[in-house]
Structure 1
């Protein structure tokens, strides 16, 4: 374990050195939040990938591969590419033209102050819940490692306490370099984290393949189910049969229809209306560089997801030949971390632990930076202290980073408690599904602003956003339906929530009219 510890210590030293170095010569909120708009597109590309591959993906995607034994989850990458093309061509130029720091400033210029503040608050709440939920994943490997090293079999309450301790440690370390270095620290540490992640996953694949007796022939023999190796799924009824079966296809997660529509709308929302992702694109020298970064990141998503899913498939095959090595009650999400701790050799195990920490810290640092920036620009300066100096804004954004870190730890701890007591939950659907309730409302309003010139009003947008949320809440039974109505409401899988919420919000908002405002 000394070799593993050495690898992890070197990783943390590199992260802190980069964060401290990047924090030099920051004199304004723009320097802190956007790196003075001077970062190269390839570094932004690496940062986008590092933020997307959260600990939820690092553990959840192999878990999906282990559970399904196919690549149907990767279909959603079709929509991520289409969505990023739209974001790059439609969203980024207006943001650059208006020189916004918080993207919700655009909504004030297009509609009014009420729309801006409502959208900003929706983002703050959604991002805290989603990032806090994803933070839980980072603790899984550390908890398993603790039990492995100590030989202690903890009960449910002790496991929750272990999770909380792990989340606090990861969050404190991330908060320090994020608060010191701002977006520059986030981007350049993300570059390192992307490299660590890539090397660690390829190492895991090599070890897995080499530990399966008989190699490829044994893998093929174990994968003999009807849906094994499957790449595409049309959903309920192959081909176009879903037209005869109504909306049942909306209840299925990984289908071609979800890939082309659901995933496209999700990506437009997460990469076009979420300060977390857009903020790093705005750190490029111009909109063309930002567009290049976001589109190329989408092209790279597909092979990355394939690697994660193939890792899960190999895990399934490995434990088919070594069933005694995996406890029978191991949750799906714990299979990969269990393999890392119990099967990998020294050094490579430390590299994989560093890889998980890299994904967790990469997504956490961007969330903290965007949350603090939005709160400072839209609320502290926008409401409480419009005359704030740059020095005061920098102090506020740094303290805001610490406050949001505490909130994310709280949400992550609650998630850990829930999952420990409900191990049957497929948490990747929860982590991705949270956005579905609110991001359709955000995307609908942004599209209304960018695709029209005179439609939408400041007060009408609030009604439209509420309508989008209300419809999704009804369809997912977050708001209970009246007795007997359930039979008339189709089941809605998480990839479709943003699509439906967007269409409802856009349609309702389109019914309101405002005088044309000049657009640059």
Structure 2
């Protein structure tokens, strides 16, 4: 059989990949030999060192969507404007560290939505938990789809003849099934400790894979001068790094409309990205659960803030990979180069890297996918059981039974993630111009704004908000985001082609601003409701 990869039969790559999978499985199964209690399964007994929590946070943030999606943004846009959004993530982590972390430790919650139950009541807790479960499940499925892009592209190259949409969808499904079942195995066995220790390996592999890719690209690009490094530095420095979004020839309202409808501006970085990161790192059980495994809130804060400082160089690294891919594509004129920006980096890995190194990069992609998926499954199971299932169990229920429910819920969400990954693949096959990061971040934008708004109401006020009012506020937040993100226009256009033009007068906000709009709306509406006659407010 003739292989389209350099070096012929990629047996070395499969060997490297199998070695990585064996190492992950060994670490995951030995991390916690059968957690006996809910606290051990979900929080690791609060015994994780801060540097392990830091590595796990980095692994969580650098999912397969980040590993493949960030180069796709650099390739498609050809500049560093996306890097602006990383600035807001640093500020947001500091705010989260001093607003949310200590209350979670003070109340000794397992699911962070229990905090809302203590502060407001059961309805608020249930609404927030349901929002997290739905949003995180959708986002995890979308990230799982991203990880399956590379196996699909490999099959296309090996097949030799055109692959139908149905065959492509089948490969997506098989890839998602394999990755999920393997990840679920050690997640069910070891709980959060298995997640964190395997994340450390996965974070190191991701970083080394990114640096190695950048070096290979630098070697492949035909630089024109005698000093390639100096030429590359001049080229990158000349690219746009920031965009104010302001046009001096437009009036105030026109400029505001342009700013809110643009994906990457300095305002989206300092405001929109700050609110988005506050939501993902302060109100998302997936990331916060890792923070709660630290010994105390001081070490948890340290891990969180340091993770923000690593975010900027990581984004810069992977954007540069995308920009270099664009330079290489323009100089090589490869007729087999995929037309979709999402597939260019996977194509480079498969067809333009030597054996062994290619296996390492394949392992890095699987590592990013498995790291984010394992934590998501553990967080989904924890929130589902703590906020929903355990309330129907007798108070004296044995801890072993509760842990069994946690493990069973982990398996349930694993299969649901596979189904959503297949649905995402079907959507992208029907919409080939869709980009990865707007898909993943757009999912958060609709629901995490209301979630952040009600948490801010809980930590910033002591005498406002109640169970009923919070549900109204969250519904208003979601409704406003949907209106201002173009949902009514899309619905009208679907049922009446061309009819969406009748709603073009509505302002439209881009995905970095959605959490900001939703959280502000929820917070302001929630302020209008006083507490019930017997408030459940506790001193933080």
TM-score (norm 1): 0.95
**1:23–1:184 contact (8 Å) kept in structure 2:** yes
- Does 1:167 find its partner at 2:176? yes
Q: 1:215 to 1:138 in 2, by over 3 A?
A: farther
The partner residue of 1:295 within 296, 300, 305 is 305
The partner residue of 1:259 within 241, 245, 269 is 269
The partner residue of 1:87 within 86, 92, 96 is 96
**CA shift at 1:369, angstroms?**
0.4
Runs of 4+ residues deviating >3 angstroms: 149-153, 215-228, 238-244, 383-387, 479-485
**1:454–1:516 contact (8 Å) kept in structure 2:** no
Q: 1:441 to 1:421 in 2, by over 3 A?
A: same
**CA shift at 1:153, angstroms?**
3.2
Q: How far, CA to CA, are the matches of 2:212 and 2:239 in structure 1?
A: 22
**CA shift at 1:290, angstroms?**
0.6
**1:69–1:228 contact (8 Å) kept in structure 2:** no
Match of 2:289 in 1: 279
Gaps of 5+ in 1: none
Deviations 1:382-414 (A, max 9, x none): 235544321111101101111000000000001
Match of 2:539 in 1: 519
Q: How far, CA to CA, are the matches of 1:338 and 1:244 in structure 2?
A: 41
Match of 2:293, SS state, is coil
Q: How far, CA to CA, are the matches of 1:242 and 1:222 in structure 2?
A: 38
Q: How far, CA to CA, are the matches of 2:365 and 2:308 in structure 1?
A: 21
Q: How far, CA to CA, are the matches of 1:112 and 1:48 in structure 2?
A: 30
**CA shift at 1:479, angstroms?**
3.7
Q: 1:324 to 1:277 in 2, by over 3 A?
A: same
The partner residue of 1:205 within 199, 214, 218 is 214
Q: How far, CA to CA, are the matches of 1:43 and 1:516 in structure 2?
A: 36
**1:120–1:378 contact (8 Å) kept in structure 2:** yes
Q: 1:63 to 1:29 in 2, by over 3 A?
A: same
**Number of aligned residue pairs:** 519
The partner residue of 2:503 within 457, 481, 486 is 486
**CA shift at 1:475, angstroms?**
1.1
Match of 1:234 in 2: 244
**1:222–1:317 contact (8 Å) kept in structure 2:** no
Q: 1:283 to 1:215 in 2, by over 3 A?
A: farther
**CA shift at 1:196, angstroms?**
0.6
- Does 1:101 find its partner at 2:110? yes
Deviations 1:423-453 (A, max 9, x none): 1112320111111111011100000010000
Q: How far, CA to CA, are the matches of 2:218 and 2:232 in structure 1?
A: 13
Q: 1:301 to 1:101 in 2, by over 3 A?
A: same
Q: How far, CA to CA, are the matches of 2:313 and 2:251 in structure 1?
A: 30
Matches within 5 A, 1:23-34: 23-34=32-43
Which stretch shows the higher mean deviation, 477-486 or 55-64? 477-486
TM-score (norm 2): 0.92
**2:132–2:284 contact (8 Å) kept in structure 1:** yes
Which stretch shows the higher mean deviation, 477-486 or 218-227? 218-227
- Does 1:474 find its partner at 2:494? no
Matches within 5 A, 1:263-412: 263-324=273-334, 326-327=336-337, 330-412=339-421
Matches within 5 A, 1:23-62: 23-62=32-71
Matches within 5 A, 1:106-255: 106-214=115-223, 229-237=239-247, 245-255=255-265
**2:289–2:379 contact (8 Å) kept in structure 1:** yes
Q: How far, CA to CA, are the matches of 1:112 and 1:196 in structure 2?
A: 43
**CA shift at 1:488, angstroms?**
3.2
**CA shift at 1:68, angstroms?**
1.1
**CA shift at 1:487, angstroms?**
3.7
The partner residue of 1:72 within 76, 81, 94 is 81
Q: How far, CA to CA, are the matches of 1:215 and 1:374 in structure 2?
A: 56
Match of 2:515 in 1: 498
Q: How far, CA to CA, are the matches of 1:293 and 1:227 in structure 2?
A: 32
Match of 2:241, SS state, is coil
Match of 1:423, SS state, is coil
**CA shift at 1:264, angstroms?**
0.4
**CA shift at 1:418, angstroms?**
1.3
